[in-house]
Amino acid sequence: MMDVAGSRTKKRSRAAPEDHVWVNDHERNTIDPKPHPEGPECACPADSRIARHFDAKVAERLARGQDPVLVPISERLRDALLSLGPAGRTLLELGCGRGRLLLALTQAGAKSATGVDLSAASIDAARNRFEQAQLSDRVRLSVGDAARVPLEPQDWVILDRVMCCYPDIERLLANTLPAARRLYAFTVPNSRGWRGVLARLDEWLENAWNSLRGRPCPGYVHDLDLIEERLTAAGFRLRHRDQLRLWHLAIYERSAP
C-alpha cells in the first residue's frame, strides 16, 4: 500500500512449491516463535513474491546506504504505543520489517521482543539494528508467515501495514488474535467511504506498477468492519483509534475476564 509520504512500507521444505516460502531457522538469535508440536519442522507457506519484493527493496537501500525512517502512520502507531507504556511488556511484531518500530518499543523498556517477517533480508537488517543498539539479548527474530507459524502468546501483538499483504484476512486474524494477551495494534488501508475508494485505487496502481517493473507484490484493502467484528468476538475492546490520509490505526485491549 502506498502512503502519500512513501511506500508501504528455511526450514528445509519437502519438495516445496516454487511459489511458497518456508520458515527458516537462522543462526544468531533467530528462532521459530514457538516450536512445532511435532518437532522443529514447521512449514509455513506464503506468497513468495512478497518476500522477494522486500528482499530486493532492502538490498537496494543497503547498496545506497539508506535507512528510511518510519512513514507517518507508523510514527503515529509508535507514539500511541509509547503512550501506553511498553515497559515490562513482552512484544510480538508480525511483519516487523527492518525492526525500527520494534526497537523503539524495546528501547522504551519492553521486557522482550519477538519479530517475524516474510523477508529474510528484512530480518537480517533488523538483527543488525538490534546488535548496534546492544539489545540483541532482548529480541528473537525469525522468517515466517504470520498467518501460519505457531505463535507464543505475548502481552502486545503489533501488525503495522501488514494485513494488506495477506489475501486471507480471516486466517491471519485467527492465527494472531489468540497470541495477544493484552493489546492488539494494527494499521491498515482504510476501507470506508471515500478513503476506501481511493485506497483501493491506490492499491491497484501500486500492484500494477510493481508488476510492470518485474517486482510484483500483491496488496489488499480488507473490510474494517470484518476486522473489528473478529476483534470484538475474540474479547477485545477499542482502546485507541486514529486515521491519516488513507490509513486507519487502531489499538484494541483484551477485556477483563
Of the listed ranges 45-54, 162-171, 177-186, 202-211, the least confidently predicted one is 45-54
Q: What is the CATH number of the domain that holds 35?
A: 3.40.50.150
Contact 139, 112 (CB under 8 A): yes
pLDDT tens track for 20-50: 333 333 333 333 344 333 332 333 345 677 8
For residues 196-219, b (16+ Cβ closer than 10 Å) or e, as one string?
Answer: beebeebbeebbeebeeeeebbbb
What CA–CA distance (Å, rounded) separates 128 from 162?
22
Grade residue 185 by pLDDT with cuts at 50, 70 and 90.
very high
Which pLDDT value is given to residue 46? Answer: 56
**pTM of the complete model:** 0.80
Query: Where in the sequence is the domain holding 63, given as residue range(s)?
Result: 2-254
Which of 45, 42, 49 lies closest to 20 in space, CA to CA? 45
* C-alpha cell belonging to residue 246: 488513507
Q: How many domains does the chain have?
A: 1
pLDDT tens track for 140-161: 999 999 999 999 999 999 999 9
